[in-house]
Amino acid sequence: MTITEFENLKEKKNPLILKFKADWCTPCKQLDPILQEIEQSHNIQIIEVDVEESVDLCERMNIKKLPTIQYFQNGEFIDEKKGITTKKVIEDMIT
């Protein structure tokens, strides 16, 4: 994802979670079923960002640990969780 693509997503002002991940990251894969449940039950868009393909965006967002999820609402950054986390923690972040 490019910085421009990210800015365009934010402009839509829909609730959005960015999941920063890498193919080799096992904890990133462990989050997949949790995020799928949240996406369906909370009507929230989840976009995966591969850190190896989106270096500029990762630098801009200061991504240092995987997985990192960032929550945006109304085009504004709300919260961030780094590392493996639980469904409850993510739900608390978005509600």
Question: Active-site residue numbers?
Answer: 25, 28
The residue whose two tokens read 């990762």 is: 58
Burial class (CB in 10 A: 0-12, 13-18, 19+), 15: middle
For residues 52, 54, 14, 30, the Cα torsion angle rounded to the nearest 10 degrees is 0
Give the dihedral sign, CA 67/52/25/8. positive
